[in-house]
Amino acid sequence: MNKRRSFFRSLLELGTGAAALAQVARGQGAPVPVQTPDIGDLPFTVDNGVKVFHLVAEPVKQTVIPGRTFDLWGFNGSAPGPTIQATEGDRIRIIFDNHLPEATGIHWHGLELPIEMDGVPGIGQDLVQPGGRFTYEFPLHQNGTFFYHPHMAMQEMVGMLGGFIIHRRRLTRRRWTGIF
Ligand SMILES: [Cu+2]
């Protein structure tokens, strides 16, 4: 892109972001948009008020810098995996398929949820075997920046993690304790 145009576009984006933040600071309710460069959001459908995501653990090839492509393990074709975005108060269902050659499970880092949904094999659930499926479902009552990963050390080390953004549902001046 033309440098000058790119500069003005950046200025425009900065302006839009600042306006959104100012709106949040005033407690006017617009959620702060979150973008994860080069990593898409995990799409969802809605079933009876429940946001339904489909997460697939699988080997991926990821180009980290031009000319450097790594064999990693990730989710839905990328490592890190796609970002999950939802809103405080949502109920979510994550249909999880294991397309890896070894067993795994998904832990929702920092989320307060029933132990059987916490994704720690041997404590809250059985391992999800290769070719297996497990359906996680829980309500979100927190907001903030979280992430998901298997509770299997070597799997995390080869790329298995993804962001989990829970947007604040209702913004008030009193509760806002952010960067201002
Ligand atoms: Cu964790």
Backbone angles phi, psi at 57, to 5 degrees: -85, 130
The tokens for 177 are 């304790």
Query: In the beta sheet, which residues pair with residue 63?
Result: 69
Distance from C-alpha of 167 to C-alpha of 29, rounded to nearest angstrom: 11
Q: Which of 29-33, 49-53, 94-98, 105-109 has the lowest mean pLDDT?
A: 29-33
Distance from C-alpha of 22 to C-alpha of 141, rounded to nearest angstrom: 25
- Separation of CA 119 and ligand 1 centre (Å): 10
- Separation of CA 26 and ligand 1 centre (Å): 33
Q: Which residues contact 18 (CB under 8 A, 6 or more apart)?
A: none
Average pLDDT over residues 153-174: 86
Asked if residue 25 and residue 51 are part of one domain, the reply reads no
Q: CA–CA distance from 155 to each of 27, 68, 118 (Å)?
A: 41, 20, 17
Give CA 73 to chain center in angstroms: 16
Distance from C-alpha of 144 to C-alpha of 22, rounded to nearest angstrom: 18
3-class SS of residue 71? strand
Q: Mean pLDDT score of the chain, rounded to an integer?
A: 85
Asked if residue 160 and residue 88 are part of one domain, the reply reads yes
- Separation of CA 108 and ligand 1 centre (Å): 7
- Separation of CA 146 and ligand 1 centre (Å): 9
Checking if the pLDDT of 169 tops 70, the result is yes
Asked if residue 87 and residue 1 are part of one domain, the reply reads no
Q: Which residues contact 178 (CB under 8 A, 6 or more apart)?
A: 24, 25
Asked if residue 124 and residue 73 are part of one domain, the reply reads yes
Checking if the pLDDT of 156 tops 80, the result is yes
Distance from C-alpha of 80 to C-alpha of 156, rounded to nearest angstrom: 10
Residue 177 banded pLDDT, cuts 50, 70, 90:
low
Checking if the pLDDT of 179 tops 60, the result is no
Does residue 116 fall inside a structural domain? yes
Q: Give the pTM.
A: 0.78
Domain hosting 27: range is: 1-33
Q: Are 19 and 33 in contact (CB under 8 A)?
A: no
Domain total of the chain: 2
pLDDT for 11: 46
